[in-house]
Structure 1
Amino acid sequence: MAFHDSLARAVALVGAAAIRWRRLQGQVQRTPAVGTAPQIPAALAQGRIPTLKMPTAQGWAAGQMPSAAAGLKVNAFAAGLKHPRWIHVLPNGDVTVAEALQQASGAPRTLFDHAMRATMRRAAALGESPNRITLLRDADGDGVAEQRHALLENLDQPFGMALLGDTFYVGNTDGVLAFPYTPGATRIAAPGRRLASFKPGGHWTRSLLASRDGQRLYVGVGSLSNIAEHGFEAEEGRACIYELDLRTQHCRIFAAGLRNPVGMAWEPLTGRLWTVVNERDGLGDETPPDYLTSVSDGGFYGWPYCYWGQTVDERVPQDAALVARALTPDYALGGHTASLGLCWMPAGTLPGFDGDGMVIGQHGSWNRSTLSGYRVVFVPFADGRPAGPPRDILWGFLAPDESVSYGRPVGVAIGPDGRSLLVADDVGDVVWRVGAAA
């Protein structure tokens, strides 16, 4: 472990030197690439000196919490969890939370892999996964869950959840499972039925979103690697969103070329599917930006060949036909923000947020000169599309000097009362509740 820590520090120092050199050359982008027409700088020359910058996970001190927008207050809906990542609110008001963590798989391939693993452990982003879904119940409606139950245990890096009728669906890293569910139950003991299988490893989260008619599930499956550096064969069936027919169990790729599509949500006016995507690393602070986009059936969004439309990534062997049909995303979210959480928030859910829009949990960067993300933002919509700059809902997860993180926001969901927002914080081990200040 001491060797790994020393190696991580050495690589970080080299990365810091690279950052200083880039600043001297005027190559560090200080204006975030955000919005429908972002200014994305040209890719930096890569492959020489890696950038590795990630804060140490510290957690929250007693009485410390994130900052909220004017008119809002924040409190711990549930604390003392173990790496809570994703949230699902059941019809009866119970809240289920997937507790899971990335696990090391296989031997490190390079010195940088060694350093990256050590850095991720220091940042509480790698370790033993709890592999559990916890049920939280706020029976008295005071905004704090007074009951906590282990709904499901011994899972395999669970993430996405969905309840349709009497079936509770879970997105394990290696596939989708279906469990029998009784309203009000606090534990599911029956074994799950496997409906679909996916390759584990790499980007391990498997988010789930039910169709409006309850007949299908949409499943987000990220890539194995950054830019298919392990070969295209290893990436088959990855970097896409699947559509799973629950009646026939037929599973097909709905949209592809999405490096790591995590959160998904429906936009109610048009009925379109939207997702947030984590883009590739190694091209600069803001190149390319992570993004929020609508997803078309059969659409191709560029990975790994190109980004933000048809900007070719010169590091990747090219396929001109696929580049030619790559779609441009709808809305840039800034470089390396690790935008993971996504939910639709109707107008008036929170005071001061008087229009409809999408809420995004930005987990935060590890690979740029000035850290980005580490906040929860709101993107306003009009006529079914993004319509304005993002607004902060929750921030303060990162120390001002960027040395430590108190927390990192991931999943977001509208609270059971319809007048609050729940946020999973996988470093602070808390589910935060954001509501009206008075």
Structure 2
Amino acid sequence: MRKHVLAVIGLLVLLGVAIFAYLAWPDTARLDVAAVSGTRPAITQPRDQVIPTVETADPIGWKAGETPVAAPGLKVAAFADGLEHPRWLYRLPNGDVLVAETNSPPREGGGIKGWVMRHLLGKVGAGVPSANRITLLRDADGDGVAELKTPFMTGLNSPSGMALLNGQLYVANTDSLVRVPYRDGETKITATPETVVTYPGGGNHWSRNVIVAEDGKTLYLSVGSASNIAENGLDAEHDRAAILQVFPDQKKYRVFASGIRNANGMALVPGTNRLWTVVNERDMLGSDLVPDYMSAIELGDNFGWPWYYWGGYPDVRVQPKNQELQQYVKRPDYALGPHVAALGLTFAADAKLGANFARGAFVGEHGSWNRKPLSGYKVVYVPFNAEGWPEKGVKPVDVLTGFLNKDEEAHGRPVAVITDKTGGLLVADDVGNMVWRVSAAK
């Protein structure tokens, strides 16, 4: 009996040493982020990982006078500070800005995996409880600074996306889409939210976004997967990893597009009103795979998750296989780089940032936790052509950087991006607890 106990202890020690060695020498990227971006990214052989690379940026916030770094020809300043984990932004018709101060609902799951996830969330500044609040910011004098910051809606459940349709303000909680009557200029909502539809909540990807569809009658709503590659079974992914189309009058929805691991930002491209989204792709295939992407979305599209990535590359880890699907998998239109955590998306329709940023998409890259070296942690711009597609052969252009210092500590992490009423670009920073405003340099 004693020999068996010693043998088990020995195996545990060896396992612990192996895990320690792995974490001390995680998978390192062999390609630059730029090589895995654009319309023709490098898709290399996967490097399967039993334990993911863990390379985090410790959150340190911003000291007085510190700001991110704007691209040449642009400048940046604080639009609002003192917020509590601001993630999503929405501009109302009168120019007021709503900011969702929100975070993941309490994480379930014990054991080593649960402990690692909770520890990791704390390390990257995502472990604070959700304020479950939407705050109104008003810049009445147009000087680029919000002089009014007031609670607008409270008592929500990890809210994120917001959209105004036919006098109703829709808010996407993690598990339900709700609405309240809205009148222009209101600074506080007291009405009890009405539930429009419910859908699966929580899981690894908890935040939901909602926008008004091009028909002006329905809504697009993004619901991320509950897991990395459906390792908890496909039943747990019902109506997830998808963009839903909501019919608010009937209080029903349908799956509009599927196989989309974790879409967040959505927008209609100017001119064509074609739906676009940015998507976080899968983990644990190495630091060079898989690129996050942005793509046009049409009814019935399937982007392959969890069985395939980037238009048909098989993920051999997923069981059971789905070989019949491969020929139907849609290839994304534009790669943003591996593990950049692309979340925010807005088009430059009414931006006034100069000729270099007049026709294209701004993307908020929240930043990696599982790549060495780190990727993302910035806002980038993707130039589009006159037909409403990304320019071929062009890589993402840096718009706002400096969220990481030279020691790879995070002053902040950008999330949502929108334009304000004067043409500036607003950026939610959920680690710095700020909303930044980018404008043209005088």
- TM-score of the superposition, structure 1-length normalised? 0.93
Of 49-58 and 300-309, the range deviating more from structure 2: 49-58
Structure 2 counterpart SS, 1:353 = helix
Partner in structure 2 of residue 356 of structure 1: 359
1:157 aligns with 2:120: no
Structure 2 counterpart SS, 1:234 = helix
Whole-Å separation in 2 of the counterparts to 1:11 and 1:187: 55
Partner in structure 2 of residue 133 of structure 1: 134
Partner in structure 2 of residue 398 of structure 1: 404
What are the within-5 Å matches in structure 2 for residues 155-304 of structure 1? 155-202=156-203, 203-304=205-306
Partner in structure 2 of residue 6 of structure 1: none
Deviation at 1:16, TM superposition (A): 4.2
1:15-65, CA deviations, whole angstroms, 9 ceiling, x for partnerless residues?
44343xx55xxx733353000110111100322x43111111110011000
Whole-Å separation in 1 of the counterparts to 2:240 and 2:127: 21
Partner in structure 2 of residue 333 of structure 1: 336
User: 1:71, 1:352 within 8 Å by CA — same for their partners in 2?
Assistant: no
Whole-Å separation in 1 of the counterparts to 2:433 and 2:305: 33
What are the within-5 Å matches in structure 2 for residues 365-404 of structure 1? 365-382=368-385, 383-387=387-391, 388-402=394-408, 404=409
Which of the two has higher C-alpha Rg? 2
Judged with a 3 Å threshold, the aligned counterparts in structure 2 of structure 1 residues 90 and 170 are, in CA distance, closer, same or farther, namely same
The code of the aligned residue for 1:217 comes to: L
Judged with a 3 Å threshold, the aligned counterparts in structure 2 of structure 1 residues 248 and 103 are, in CA distance, closer, same or farther, namely closer
Structure 2 counterpart SS, 1:115 = helix
Structure 2 counterpart SS, 1:120 = helix
Whole-Å separation in 2 of the counterparts to 1:251 and 1:77: 36
Partner in structure 1 of residue 56 of structure 2: 54
Partner in structure 1 of residue 421 of structure 2: 416
Judged with a 3 Å threshold, the aligned counterparts in structure 2 of structure 1 residues 15 and 119 are, in CA distance, closer, same or farther, namely farther
User: 1:98, 1:133 within 8 Å by CA — same for their partners in 2?
Assistant: yes
RMSD value, Cα: 1.7
Whole-Å separation in 2 of the counterparts to 1:305 and 1:421: 37
Partner in structure 2 of residue 4 of structure 1: none
Whole-Å separation in 2 of the counterparts to 1:45 and 1:98: 36
Judged with a 3 Å threshold, the aligned counterparts in structure 2 of structure 1 residues 359 and 122 are, in CA distance, closer, same or farther, namely same
1:432 aligns with 2:439: no
Judged with a 3 Å threshold, the aligned counterparts in structure 2 of structure 1 residues 173 and 198 are, in CA distance, closer, same or farther, namely same
Whole-Å separation in 2 of the counterparts to 1:150 and 1:331: 38
Structure 1 counterpart SS, 2:119 = helix
Judged with a 3 Å threshold, the aligned counterparts in structure 2 of structure 1 residues 254 and 126 are, in CA distance, closer, same or farther, namely same
Judged with a 3 Å threshold, the aligned counterparts in structure 2 of structure 1 residues 269 and 182 are, in CA distance, closer, same or farther, namely closer
Whole-Å separation in 1 of the counterparts to 2:327 and 2:215: 34
Structure 1 segments unaligned to the other structure (5+ residues): 1-8
Whole-Å separation in 1 of the counterparts to 2:76 and 2:174: 31
Moved over 6 A (4+): 9-12
User: 1:15, 1:52 within 8 Å by CA — same for their partners in 2?
Assistant: no
User: 2:33, 2:375 within 8 Å by CA — same for their partners in 1?
Assistant: no
Structure 1 counterpart SS, 2:356 = coil
User: 1:66, 1:74 within 8 Å by CA — same for their partners in 2?
Assistant: yes
User: 1:343, 1:413 within 8 Å by CA — same for their partners in 2?
Assistant: yes
1:366-394, CA deviations, whole angstroms, 9 ceiling, x for partnerless residues?
00110000000000000211002211110
User: 2:53, 2:286 within 8 Å by CA — same for their partners in 1?
Assistant: no
Structure 2 counterpart SS, 1:113 = helix
What are the within-5 Å matches in structure 2 for residues 33-48 of structure 1? 33-47=36-50
Whole-Å separation in 2 of the counterparts to 1:114 and 1:422: 35
User: 1:420, 1:435 within 8 Å by CA — same for their partners in 2?
Assistant: yes
Structure 1 counterpart SS, 2:24 = helix
User: 2:124, 2:369 within 8 Å by CA — same for their partners in 1?
Assistant: no
Judged with a 3 Å threshold, the aligned counterparts in structure 2 of structure 1 residues 363 and 12 are, in CA distance, closer, same or farther, namely farther
Identical aligned residues as a percent: 46
Structure 2 counterpart SS, 1:321 = helix
What are the within-5 Å matches in structure 2 for residues 57-68 of structure 1? 57-68=59-70
User: 1:78, 1:430 within 8 Å by CA — same for their partners in 2?
Assistant: yes
Whole-Å separation in 1 of the counterparts to 2:350 and 2:201: 38
Whole-Å separation in 2 of the counterparts to 1:145 and 1:84: 15
Partner in structure 2 of residue 148 of structure 1: 149
1:142-162, CA deviations, whole angstroms, 9 ceiling, x for partnerless residues?
000001111100100000001
Structure 2 segments unaligned to the other structure (5+ residues): 1-15
Whole-Å separation in 2 of the counterparts to 1:378 and 1:97: 22
Deviation at 1:11, TM superposition (A): 10
User: 1:29, 1:41 within 8 Å by CA — same for their partners in 2?
Assistant: no
Partner in structure 1 of residue 24 of structure 2: 17
Whole-Å separation in 2 of the counterparts to 1:60 and 1:10: 37
Deviation at 1:296, TM superposition (A): 1.3
Partner in structure 2 of residue 308 of structure 1: 310
Of 328-337 and 198-207, the range deviating more from structure 2: 198-207
The code of the aligned residue for 2:421 comes to: P
Deviation at 1:270, TM superposition (A): 2.3
